[in-house]
């Protein structure tokens, strides 16, 4: 595990989200080279405090040694000497490797802050990362990373949901981080597959960004959004999975956001890049934008909580 996360002296903390790299096969393809070049350009332009990767780092189906692909990804991220955190997607352990085996590889990297999480709940990679104050060792913000799984059972179809035991884990973690006065800390959550509530944001909330495909959320709603609403800490969630979506929208005070896909070895018509999220110490707000590989910044979004009357 690397050093503790901490707000900068100016009170900011910058996260760079990459998603859906889909590095595939044992031989580096031209598409993979372009993916890594884009990652480098975006990191160089932003120099974040944390890199968050929200799943589908690799293809594993039809690949003899997906562990090699995974090492190539981690080698490339680790060389920047910036802390990074990972959750898995539906393709990472689809064949020939398990999430446990992937995580074992990850443990060799000094800059990885990912944790396997509790063994008694679903998934590999349910963990939280506190961000400390710029002035002292007091925790000022929290990042939750949750394994959203892969595929639902055949009789249900579609994608897996975040299970009840994971929702309970999040609620318990949230309580641990609450301030002495009982007020929740500002928090963000990262996972791969969008919640069903991503479909509702169009009807009820403000929108920014692009929706060019249907939202492939699970058919089962397991209540994570409700838990976040009731806990009161999570300001926004950040996912991947749907490569032609990059929007942020606010629903009942929680921002539901997509990253911008960065992998060239997969479908998607949007220019490849990454999403930046900037937090502010002591404030329940964040700014976000997408930086694409040619250096342009697009799709600005601001989350600022309304004061209660």
Short-list 250, 231, 246, CA closest to 303? 250
CB 38 within 8 A of CB 273: yes
CA distances from 84 to 15, 81, 125, 237, 278 (A): 9, 9, 13, 17, 16
Q: What is the pLDDT of residue 309?
A: 35
- What pTM does this model have? 0.96
CB 250 within 8 A of CB 195: no
CB 17 within 8 A of CB 238: yes
Q: Measured between alpha carbons, how far is 131 from 137 in angstroms, rounded to an integer?
A: 9
Which residues of 24-125 form beta strands (DSSP E)?
50-54, 84-87
User: pLDDT tens digits, the chain, 309 residues: what are they?
Assistant: 446 899 999 999 999 999 999 998 766 789 999 999 999 999 999 999 999 999 999 998 888 889 999 999 999 999 999 999 999 999 999 889 999 999 999 998 999 999 999 999 999 999 999 999 999 999 999 999 999 999 999 999 999 999 999 999 999 999 999 887 778 999 999 999 999 999 999 777 678 899 999 999 999 999 999 999 999 999 999 999 999 999 999 999 999 999 999 999 999 999 999 999 999 999 999 999 999 999 999 989 999 887 543
Q: What is the pLDDT of residue 212?
A: 94
151 bridge partner residues: 159
Segments in 131-212 forming alpha helices (H): 164-177, 201-204
């Amino acid at each position: 595990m690397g050093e503790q996360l901490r707000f900068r002296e100016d009170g900011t903390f910058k996260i760079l989200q990459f998603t859906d790299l889909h590095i595939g096969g044992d031989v580096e393809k031209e598409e993979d080279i372009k993916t890594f070049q884009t990652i480098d350009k975006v990191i160089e332009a932003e120099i974040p405090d944390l890199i968050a990767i929200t799943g589908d780092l690799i293809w594993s189906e039809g690949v003899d040694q997906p562990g090699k692909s995974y090492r190539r990804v981690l080698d490339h991220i680790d060389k920047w000497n910036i802390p990074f955190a990972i959750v898995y997607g539906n393709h990472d352990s689809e064949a020939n490797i398990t999430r446990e085996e992937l995580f074992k590889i990850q443990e060799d990297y000094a800059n990885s802050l990912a944790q396997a999480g509790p063994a008694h709940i679903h998934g590999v990679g349910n963990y939280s990362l506190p961000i400390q104050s710029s002035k002292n060792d007091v925790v000022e913000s929290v990042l939750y990373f949750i394994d959203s799984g892969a595929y639902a059972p055949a009789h249900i179809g579609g994608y897996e949901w975040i299970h009840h035991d994971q929702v309970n884990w999040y609620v318990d973690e949230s309580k641990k981080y609450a301030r002495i006065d009982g007020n929740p800390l500002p928090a963000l959550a990262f996972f791969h597959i969008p919640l069903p509530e991503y479909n509702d944001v169009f009807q009820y909330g403000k929108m920014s960004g692009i929706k060019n495909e249907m939202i492939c959320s699970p058919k089962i709603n397991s209540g994570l959004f409700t838990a976040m609403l009731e806990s009161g800490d999570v300001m926004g969630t950040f996912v991947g999975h749907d490569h032609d979506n990059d929007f942020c929208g606010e629903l009942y005070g929680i921002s539901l956001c997509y990253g911008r896909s960065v992998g060239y070895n997969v479908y998607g018509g949007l220019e490849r890049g990454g999403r930046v999220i900037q937090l502010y110490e002591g404030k329940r707000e964040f700014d976000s934008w997408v930086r694409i590989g040619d250096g342009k910044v697009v799709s600005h979004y601001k989350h600022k909580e309304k004061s209660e009357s």
